[in-house]
Structure 1
Amino acid sequence: MKNTYVLTEAAIQLAIFIVLFLASLYVPLLGAVATLFLSLPFMVFTMRHGYAASLMLLLAAIIVSVLIGSLLSLPVVFMFGTSGIVIGALFAKQKNRYMILVAATVIFLLNMVIDYIISVKFFEMDIIAQTLSLLKDSFRTAMQVMEGMGQEPPKELQERFQQGLELVKYVTPTLFAVTALAFAYLTIVVSVPILKRLNMSVGTWPPFRQITLPKQLLWYYLLVLVATFFPLEKGTFAYIAVINLYYLLQLLFMIQGFSFLYHVANRKNIAKGIVVIGTLLCFFFPFLLYLIAILGIIDLGFELRKRVQ
């Protein structure tokens, strides 16, 4: 009787996944929203029946999606399926949501890296190179339009654009990590309300102001700063590793800095609306983000929030 119930629910969750999957493929605009819910059927099934049974559901989803789509559908199904199983298993164990977010980010990142390697090695499709080429063509067209209108394109603008493209090429791992984090966060955020409606225990987000990163990151940052003083040749593994570690650590220290500011705002009873508006303004003025990162470093090193009265 129990096996019949499990099989029945597996069929239901598989049907829900296929509907969402088809919508993500063929329905404009709505498809982008449907993509965020692709992990949900696997979360629900994992929380109710465990990850072992969910692996069978994943296998069935892969087979059906390949039959109705193509082999190119396999990476998408595997990515959202595995992430849904991991998130559901951790929810079932009542783990901290930030821990779940980190685990989901790692799963998304691994899938994205593997998919990129497969697309380059076996299908000779380099999405990053194609995107950069498209940006170059668009910029070149814009410069030609300016020349046609009798305006001389600023050389400084052209140099900055070239430098920006070169930087994007080198910080691709960082961009992958940020994209994986965004996918993981959005997947959890849109799924939690539905899981609650299904009477599933998903806990709550711990207050953002309580986030404190490990102090060891300061030593890593110091090592990275020391490495930047060495004449590393562009394009080498050492250069790419150093520059990506630098930007990833900067991102983490920004989170620490914002957490400190939210802590101060809470202690000083500053309205949440003001704090949110201030946070949004920081993203419009990049130099403020550097100050936030410095503040995060100071807070992490000297435990500033313990000194706030």
Structure 2
Amino acid sequence: MKFRWTSVAWSIVYLLLLLSLATPLTVVTTFFLIVPVVVLYATLSFRGLALHLVPVWLIAALIFGPAILLQAVYFLIPAVIMGHLYKKRTSALKVLFIGTGSITALFLLLLLITTIWFDFNLAVMIEEMLNLAMAPLQNMTDTSLAGGAVWTPELSQQLSVFTVRMIPFTIIVCSLVLASLTHAIVRPTLASMGHIVPKLPPLRDWRFPRSLIWYYLVGLILQLFSGSSIPNTFIGTILLNMMPLLQFLFLIQSASLFFFLAYHKKWNPAIPVLLVIAALFLAPLRIAGMLDIAFPLREKLTRPK
């Protein structure tokens, strides 16, 4: 009985999250939308899952129309994938990797479909939003407050083009955040319900592959020695997304190194946290992550004297 009511409770949570998609709260609730479905899939049979989801979809469709079902189905796919992996007791890192990949693929597929079938132009939409948001600045051109900074339509166009070119990086990061939040909630939830779900290894034990250093060096060389035309090419777009993504991974590796040292050197727990915060603003601290990947830095730092 307890298990059944727990499933009903998660169905209610799922309904509330679906209904929130029609409100301004969607900016936040979207990141939690797949959580209830993952829990339900991992704990119920296929028939039980359908008995919980179909009524939720019907209620949501009656309130906001059938269009909301498209969003429900869209987020259902990665939820089922992650739920299936939890059922198989797949390692946490693999769940995160596959979950992030599936969400990213769906984002790109949705963008492709809306562009081809509905003649959706993301660059134009972003430019219009920027012009609307910055209209007050354009009206300040002749005032003393404007100074030397003037927002022009050309600047809006340049920023919109740059934003569109950064879509792959943005999608990957958002997908990673969504998958990570889902795992952070689902794993302890399933564990409390008696299901065995592998944990992520401690952050201090994370080690990224050394090949990331070579990718970064290749990207750095291309940026340094390429001509002025490459930023507007396909390779330029790849570099524009690859370099910040690699730097983000180096930041995570730096955090892993800081917590590793704090654990083995018995530092105050606040020290690695402060170092990670500092690394967000100080590039030299992120270099520690690169060195940790490239060299056996941990062994040298923890070697007995």
Change (3 A) 1:265 1:18: closer
For residues 116 and 61 of structure 1, the distance between their equivalents in structure 2, rounded to whole angstroms, comes to 29
Counterpart check, 1:83 vs 2:73: no
Could you tell which deviates more after superposition, 261-270 or 129-138? 129-138
Change (3 A) 1:69 1:17: farther
> Do the aligned partners of 1:18 and 1:61 also contact (CA within 8 Å) in 2?
no
Pairing 1:97-176 to 2, within 5 Å after superposition: 97-127=92-122, 129-145=124-140, 147-154=142-149, 166-176=161-171
1:134 maps to a residue whose letter is M
State which of 227, 230, 237 in structure 1 corresponds to 2:226: 230
Change (3 A) 1:146 1:168: same
Change (3 A) 1:308 1:79: farther
For residues 230 and 26 of structure 1, the distance between their equivalents in structure 2, rounded to whole angstroms, comes to 46
Change (3 A) 1:150 1:224: closer
String of CA shifts for 1:150-184, please: whole Å, max 9, x gaps: 54233799999887655333222111111111111
1:280 maps to a residue whose letter is I
2:290 maps to a residue whose letter is I
Counterpart of 2:176 in structure 1 is 181
Counterpart check, 1:296 vs 2:289: yes
The two structures have a TM-score, normalised by structure 2, of 0.79
Identity across aligned pairs (percent)? 25
Counterpart of 1:20 in structure 2 is 16
String of CA shifts for 1:181-224, please: whole Å, max 9, x gaps: 11111222233343233222223231111111111222222222
Change (3 A) 1:179 1:40: closer
Pairing 1:260-279 to 2, within 5 Å after superposition: 260-279=257-276
Counterpart of 1:242 in structure 2 is 239
1:248 maps to a residue whose letter is L
String of CA shifts for 1:30-77, please: whole Å, max 9, x gaps: x55654443234323432356x76996799589746676456434532
> Do the aligned partners of 2:278 and 2:285 also contact (CA within 8 Å) in 1?
no
The two structures have a TM-score, normalised by structure 1, of 0.78
> Do the aligned partners of 2:127 and 2:157 also contact (CA within 8 Å) in 1?
no
Shift of 1:21: 4.3
1:98 maps to a residue whose letter is L
Q: Secondary structure at the match of 1:307?
A: helix
> Do the aligned partners of 2:8 and 2:52 also contact (CA within 8 Å) in 1?
no
Could you tell which deviates more after superposition, 65-74 or 101-110? 65-74
String of CA shifts for 1:266-308, please: whole Å, max 9, x gaps: 222222223223323443x2xx1x3233222221111211211
Number of matched pairs: 296
